Amino acid sequence: MHRPRLPLPRGPLSEELLDALPVGTDFRATLAAAPSATGDDAALALWVLHELHYRGFAGVDDALEWEPTLVRVRTLLERDLETRLRARCTPPEGRPFVADVLGWIDDQEGVSLARHVHHDADRDQVLDLLRARSLYHLKESDPVSWLVPRLGVPAKAALMELQYDEYGDGDPNRLHHHLFALGMAACGLEPAYDAHVDVAPAEALEQNNALTLFGLHRRLRGAALGHLAAFEATSSLPSRRMVHGLERLGFPDELVAYYAEHVEADAIHEQLAVRTICGALLAEEPELEGDLWFGAFTCLDLEDRFARAMLQRWGVEERAA
């Protein structure tokens, strides 16, 4: 299996961490730098620490995944991230999640990158977007798989019904993150998720960090499933826009196929996520309803921030979805 390379540092903490990981013996300076880390630097450090739980890095000992000092650093960064996400979260009061979340999502007016790609984006902007999205799309669904052993029987069966489709229904050629890799390769982009980390904005790192945070912490299983519901519910129509935009710009069929697959798949998955998965979770653990809203809100919030960051770096004015 491909072993990702370490990215370039973005500040004092990530510098300490990326120097220390290949040596693998002493992380005291990394720990000392953690409490004051912010912005790009903190986001990159947490992304790197999370990656130790997915595929690790070339030249880094696999045993460091559970190195106690690094786990402490990870915990500090995760606490800070969760605090910021919760502070921004203003979900609707007193609305039942299963009945209302899809309608609530439709009413939100976040910035839509898919709309920009549909009508206005140029080729370089789309390539830039694909690079930044590759961090997530090349491990699509993996953060959600951490949840499986933490759910009760009906929610677990329901989640597996959805994940099975995400992972290609048993056919590796239909596995979603593999479809994205094929699409990238057809555009001449390296289909490896270490290849584009250095050009991804902090907002993209943070989207991934939040997903992994929700996936790795059992207490946040409600947030993880709320995030899943919102993610699926904001995929089908935007994927159709991506298809039109990519066709307008003459992008290869393999990439178009990835988005076309999501038009149909996510029209199913959003219903499964809300009704069968979150519904089953709430039937057994009604106290998690607040965290379902937290996860859903966070999904839209982080996508909106990512979209604004991308438009800003392209010098494009914002337009609502």
Partner 1 sequence: MSYDHPDVILCPGGPMLLRGRHTVEDADGVPHETTRPVTAVCRCSRSASYPWCDDTHKVLPPKLRPA
Per CB under 8 A, 156 contacts partner 1: no
Give the residue with the Cβ less far from partner 1, 160 or 216.
Answer: 160
Work out the widest C-alpha separation in the chain, in whole angstroms.
Answer: 52
Shortest distance, position 319 Cβ to partner 1, whole Å: 17
Answer yes or no: are the C-beta atoms of 184 and 130 closer than 8 Å: yes
Listed residue (315, 321, 144) closest to 228, CA to CA:
144
In the complex with partner 1, which residue's Cβ is closer, 26 or 171?
171
CB of 266 to partner 1, least distance (A): 8
Cβ atoms within 10 A of the Cβ of 14, count? 25
Give residue for tokens 């002493």.
26
Taking CB under 8 A as the rule, does residue 267 contact partner 1?
yes
Number of residues that bind partner 1 (CB under 8 A): 23
Question: Any residues with CB less than 8 A from the CB of 309 and at least 6 apart, and which?
Answer: 201, 202, 203, 204
Name the nearest CA neighbour of 54 among 111, 160, 168, 136: 136
CB closer to partner 1, 70 vs 273:
273
Task: Give 4 or 110: the residue with its C-beta nearer to partner 1.
Answer: 110
Residue 200 sits at the vertex; the CA angle it makes with 194 and 204, to the nearest 5 degrees, is: 105
Least distance in angstroms from the C-beta of 154 to partner 1: 5
Identify residue 300 by its one-letter amino acid code.
L
Shortest distance (Å) from residue 314 CB to partner 1: 27
- Judged by beta carbon, residue 112 or residue 276, the one nearer partner 1 is 276
| Position among 74, 133, 240, 241 found at the interface with partner 1 (CB under 8 A) | 240
Site string for partner 1, 161-190 (x = CB under 8 A): x--xx---x---------------------
Which of 236, 252, 285, 290 binds partner 1 (CB under 8 A)? It is 236
Subset of residues 77 to 136 that bind partner 1, contact rule: CB under 8 A: 102, 106
> Which amino acid does the sequence have at 228?
L
Q: Which is nearer to partner 1, 72 or 275 (CB)?
A: 275
Residue closer to partner 1 by CB (options 25, 173) is 173
> Which residue stretch of 44-52, 131-139, 261-269, 303-311 sits at the interface with partner 1 (rule: CB under 8 A)?
261-269
